[in-house]
Amino acid sequence: MEQVMGMKVEGFLRVLCTVLSSAAALIVALDRESKEIFFKERKATFKYLHSLWHLVIICSAAAGYHLLQSCRCFVFAWALRSNPCSGSKLFAWVSFLLDQAVTYATFAAASAAAQDAMIGIFAVRALQWGKICNTYTGFCVLLVVGGVCAFLATFSMAVVASLSAYHLFRLYPSPASRIKN
């Protein structure tokens, strides 16, 4: 019973990761603003900064991964009443490594996007970057919201990865139990 409850909790945490990752990807991908500058219309979209493009792709992939994993959790919790990680070290290792990879990739993409956003807000004169957020205020506000969602998704993925680590390492005997035997 406790194992089924743990699978449900993990499933709901994975749904939270899916929602936050999807929200970050959608907010950044759909963010656009147009301004007329010197009689020419200029647009700001996520495609102009590679870090934002990578954030959208990685958050979308992370959302898909966590959606599939949440379905696995709910199927095993409600239909089969067992956890495949409880006996299979291979399954536990694959799940652990994929959770770690997705978490670190999302963190890296969110950090790179945050760095580019800071350049857009404060400018870097050595790189001849101006303050684009003075011109495209609405665009920058939505980028901040998308970045916050991405970092919240990263935090929730870290919690899921720690659960995955727990499921993996409880399959191995503790050093104290080896000494007693």
Task: Say which residues have a Cβ less than 8 Å from residue 56's Cβ, sequence separation at least 6.
Answer: 25, 28, 29, 46
pLDDT at 126: 66
pLDDT at 58: 96
In a domain, 162, yes or no: yes
Does position 146 have pLDDT exceeding 60, yes or no? Answer: yes
In a domain, 178, yes or no: no
In whole angstroms, give the CA distance from residue 102 to residue 157.
8
Task: Say which residues have a Cβ less than 8 Å from residue 80's Cβ, sequence separation at least 6.
Answer: none
Amino acid at 142: L
In whole angstroms, give the CA distance from residue 162 to residue 164.
5
In a domain, 165, yes or no: yes
Does position 115 have pLDDT exceeding 80, yes or no? Answer: yes
Does position 84 have pLDDT exceeding 90, yes or no? Answer: no
Can you say how many angstroms the Cα of residue 130 is from the centroid of all Cα atoms in its chain? 30
Q: Which residues of 70-95 are buried (b: 16+ CB within 10 A; e: fewer)?
A: bebbbebbeeeeebebeeeeebbeeb
How many separate domains does the chain show?
A: 1
In a domain, 40, yes or no: no
Name the residue range of residue 142's domain. 2-33+48-171
Classify 32 as helix, strand or coil: strand
Label residue 136 by pLDDT band (50, 70, 90): confident
Does position 14 have pLDDT exceeding 70, yes or no? Answer: yes
In a domain, 38, yes or no: no
In a domain, 177, yes or no: no
- Closest by CA position to 139, among listed 166, 162, 121: 121
In whole angstroms, give the CA distance from residue 149 to residue 152.
5
Label residue 127 by pLDDT band (50, 70, 90): low
Mean pLDDT of all residues in 29-50: 76
C-beta separation of 166 from 85 below 8 A: no
In a domain, 26, yes or no: yes
Instruction: Give the other-Cβ count within 10 Å of 49's Cβ.
Output: 20
Task: Work out the mean pLDDT of the chain and round it to a whole number.
Answer: 83
In a domain, 180, yes or no: no
In whole angstroms, give the CA distance from residue 53 to residue 28.
9
Does position 110 have pLDDT exceeding 60, yes or no? Answer: yes
- Indicate the length of the chain as a whole number: 181
Does position 81 have pLDDT exceeding 70, yes or no? Answer: no
